[in-house]
Amino acid sequence: MPDPYVMAVDDTYYLYSTEDGSNRFPYATSQDLVSWEYQGSAMPKPPAWTDRNYWAPEVTETSAGYVMYYTARSREIKRPSGDGAQCVGVAVADSPEGPFVDESEEPLVCQPDLGGTIDASVVRDVDDSLWLIYKNDGNCCSIKTRFYMRQMAEDGLTFAGEEIEVEGVVNDKPWEGRVVEAPTIYHLDGTYYLFYSANDYAGVPYAVGYATSTELTGPYVDAEENPILASVPQVGPFGPGHQTLIEDPDGDLWMVYHAWERTFSEREVWIDEVVFEGGKPVVQGPDVEPQAVP
């Protein structure tokens, strides 16, 4: 299940992922973050503005219900290469199981001149305001990739502020391979940690790094030790990335991500603990050995 996103509702964890060829946004449930039961599609009905490439869903709860932000290819909006742009839509459900429904005739946000928009991630700030961070899909069309952020209305369905370009992460590091994507923001002790994936998602160099800021909207400073999660040479897993973070009932922090198995035939879901040492996050993985259950 590529591009995993995990949320907890009561005593159940929900994992949503990119389409699997049979289902739009397949999801699974678990009681312990280890044993998962596949449930099927969280969005059985396709939105009007798109009909393919359903990627990278994230879900949060607002006054509107359970709100899903997702990436899909527009029927009408074109990117510089001439084909349909990937854009971000929003869908709503009464339950985390769905069905999520997007009744809009157009996406929530799209940046066609910058290649499109993908990988939206929802952020609840310390003042309880809701924000969306996403990236332009510039790597489709030889355009620089950047992160952008915008405050949402309380229900999470519309924007309540202007778009802000996030300063500091500018895909200029060799390990990033000219692509930064999959942003995830975590706040701890007055510091915002912007985790992100970089490089070619289909290859060994794909990895996870982070940047820090004292303000949600930046500017951010790249960590010198990046990447902090990378392939295990010869053994695997390979190309770990598109991370998300989840706290267990004991307050321990876990990173859930996908990685390729040895034959590169599919991306599997992995989970490793994240600890902070001197204010720096350390991912305890990829760990191919048995480890304690969260």
pLDDT at 61 over 90: yes
Classify residue 81: in a domain, yes or no: yes
Q: Which two tokens stand for residue 223?
A: 């960590």
- Looking at residue 246, its pLDDT comes to 96
Spell out the alpha helix ranges (H) of the chain: none
Q: At 122, which CATH number?
A: 2.115.10.20
The stretch 24-53 carries a mean pLDDT of 94
| DSSP calls for 201-213 | TTSTT-EEEEEEE
Range of the domain at 231: 5-283
Q: What's the predicted TM-score (pTM) here?
A: 0.95
Confidence of residue 82 (pLDDT cuts 50, 70, 90): confident
pLDDT at 291 over 80: no
pLDDT at 279 over 90: yes
> How many domains does the structure of the chain reveal?
1
pLDDT at 261 over 90: no
pLDDT at 288 over 80: no
- Looking at residue 71, its pLDDT comes to 98
pLDDT at 282 over 80: yes
Which of helix, strand or coil describes residue 174? helix
pLDDT at 99 over 80: yes
- Looking at residue 287, its pLDDT comes to 76
Classify residue 91: in a domain, yes or no: yes
Classify residue 294: in a domain, yes or no: no
Q: Cα–Cα distance between 84 and 94 in angstroms, integer?
A: 31
The stretch 36-56 carries a mean pLDDT of 94
The stretch 80-84 carries a mean pLDDT of 88
pLDDT at 114 over 90: yes
Residue 225 or 140, more confident: 225
pLDDT at 293 over 80: no
pLDDT at 86 over 80: yes
pLDDT at 258 over 90: yes
Please provide the average confidence, as pLDDT, over all residues in the chain: 94
Confidence of residue 294 (pLDDT cuts 50, 70, 90): confident
Residue 5 or 172, more confident: 5
Q: Cα–Cα distance between 264 and 225 in angstroms, integer?
A: 27
- Looking at residue 123, its pLDDT comes to 97
The stretch 214-235 carries a mean pLDDT of 94
Q: Which two tokens stand for residue 182?
A: 């999959």
Confidence of residue 107 (pLDDT cuts 50, 70, 90): very high
Classify residue 292: in a domain, yes or no: no
Q: Cα–Cα distance between 17 and 26 in angstroms, integer?
A: 6
pLDDT tens for 216-226 read 999 999 999 99
Confidence of residue 292 (pLDDT cuts 50, 70, 90): confident
Q: Cα–Cα distance between 136 and 216 in angstroms, integer?
A: 19
Burial string for 235-246 (b: 16+ CB within 10 Å, else e) reads: ebbbbbbbbbbb
- Looking at residue 263, its pLDDT comes to 83
Q: Cα–Cα distance between 71 and 294 in angstroms, integer?
A: 30
Classify residue 219: in a domain, yes or no: yes
* Alpha carbon separation from 199 to 93, 145, 174 (Å, rounded): 34, 11, 9
Q: Cα–Cα distance between 74 and 277 in angstroms, integer?
A: 43
